[in-house]
Amino acid sequence: MKLTSKGRYAVMALVDLARFDTINPVSLRDISLRQGISLDYLEQIFSKLKRNQIVKSTRGNQGGYVLSKKPNEIKLTNILSAVDEKVKTVQCKKESKKGCNGKATKCVTHNLWDELETHINTFFEKKSLQDLLKNKSERVN
Amino acid sequence: MKLTSKGRYAVMALVDLARFDTINPVSLRDISLRQGISLDYLEQIFSKLKRNQIVKSTRGNQGGYVLSKKPNEIKLTNILSAVDEKVKTVQCKKESKKGCNGKATKCVTHNLWDELETHINTFFEKKSLQDLLKNKSERVN
DNA sequence: TCTAAACTTGACCATTTTAGTCAGGTATGT
DNA sequence: ACATACCTGACTAAAATGGTCAAGTTTAGA
Ligand code: FES
Ligand code: FES
């Protein structure tokens, strides 16, 4: 089980954005440089964030992105689901009448994974961008 | 973020094992049939479980596997880490002096992922095989 | 003793996912 | 007009996943 870079980058970029968008829109180029993320990749990610109304864009010279809500209104759930980083723990489709083994009964671990899914989602629903703004970049060690 | 089949299968197989190993060792063939998991793949998985002292094997005719501890002593953490299903949320190596961005400071999301890691591990440490034995296979719907 | 059941090991592989790159746009402030 | 920055889609190398296959070794029981 792991978290992919796409979700990680999305959160990093948004934290960066939240810190710098107070006056002007922030260009992806700046975020790319500050956070060390490929510009082209960032564009893909922001295209999704925009489709999900997490950011707004201004085109042209001096353009860039701005958060479309306040940091405390943007939950991690929103960010991660926007970039298709879904927490998928059960294997079966929940609506389906079949378990992940193709049989009519749920597999022996179904309930376990379902519980875990809830556990993780709860975490992501509680955390907002605001919470991440507090801890400024700390030294390693 | 997702959980891979290897970890899922490992848990399924061990639950099956725990239910049937009361008298004789259980053969992988039986588990394979009951749980619908490829026999060859199960062998790979059990080889790891054995290396990590979660199961013991008996060779030869009528041989098979047995749990090496009681179900309540086997935590999910043990199972998952045995099959290399690690919960890895931070990108950087924790011991390293560098953050995941190659700089000397931790990235802005480091603390977040670290918290999440703890959150998930806590879940896996609380759950034991014993807990899974309770819920017998339930009907879907 | 012979044999079949069962574990053991390691190599191999097809498919999918990931983490991007690249090449072309389009919009707009100055 | 032109530089800056967003926008879109196609493409791809590399890694991970989810296995299969082949060739054993070990041991119970007939
Ligand atoms: S995870 Fe739902 S039936 Fe196996
Ligand atoms: S996750 Fe540790 S520095 Fe980014």
CB A122 within 8 A of CB A75: no
Give me the total of CB pairs closer than 8 Å, taking one residue from chain A and one from chain B. Answer: 139
Contacts of A119 in chain B (CB under 8 A): 119-120, 123
Return the pLDDT at A91. 84
In angstroms, the CA B14 to CA B74 distance is 10
Backbone angles phi, psi at A2, to 5 degrees: -150, 170
Q: Which DSSP symbol is given to B73?
A: G
The answer, yes or no, to whether residue A19 has pLDDT greater than 50, is yes
The closest CB to that of A132, out of B16, B102, B108, belongs to B108
Q: Is B110 in the pocket of ligand 2 (CB under 6 A)?
A: yes
Return the pLDDT at A86. 82
Return the pLDDT at B138. 45
Contacts of B139 in chain A (CB under 8 A): 104-106
- Bigger pLDDT: A104 or A61? A61
The closest CB to that of A97, out of B105, B108, B140, belongs to B140
Is the pTM value of this prediction over 0.85? yes
What is the pLDDT averaged over residues A71-90? 91
List, for residues B40-82, the tens digit of each pLDDT value. 999 999 999 999 999 999 998 889 999 999 999 999 999 999 9
B80 CA: distance to closest CA in chain A (Å): 9
What is the pLDDT averaged over residues B2-22? 89
> Is some CB atom of chain A closer than 8 A to the CB atom of B98?
yes
Cβ <8 Å between A3 and B1: yes
Domain architecture of chain B: domains with CATH: 5-134 (1.10.10.10)
Return the pLDDT at A141. 39
DSSP 3-state of B12: helix
A84 CA: distance to closest CA in chain B (Å): 9
Return the pLDDT at B137. 45
Return the pLDDT at A105. 79
Q: Which ligand is nearest to the CA of B107?
A: 2
Return the pLDDT at B84. 76
Nearest to B13 by CA among B2, B110, B32, B123: B32
Return the pLDDT at A95. 63
In angstroms, the CA A120 to CA B116 distance is 8
Write the DSSP assignment of A63-122 as a string of letters: -EEEESS-GGG-BHHHHHHHTT---B--SS-SSSSS-TTSSSB--TTHHHHHHHHHHHHH
DSSP 3-state of B121: helix
DSSP 3-state of B81: helix
Contacts of A7 in chain B (CB under 8 A): 1
Residue B11 buriedness (CB in 10 A; 0-12 / 13-18 / 19+): buried
What is the pLDDT averaged over residues A88-116? 81
> Is some CB atom of chain A closer than 8 A to the CB atom of B93?
no
- Between CA A137 and C1' D4 the distance (Å) reads 30
> Is some CB atom of chain B closer than 8 A to the CB atom of A69?
no
Write the DSSP assignment of A8-52 as a string of letters: HHHHHHHHHHHHHTTSS-B-HHHHHHHHT--HHHHHHHHHHHHHT
The closest CB to that of A105, out of B1, B115, B139, belongs to B139
Residue B73 amino acid letter = E
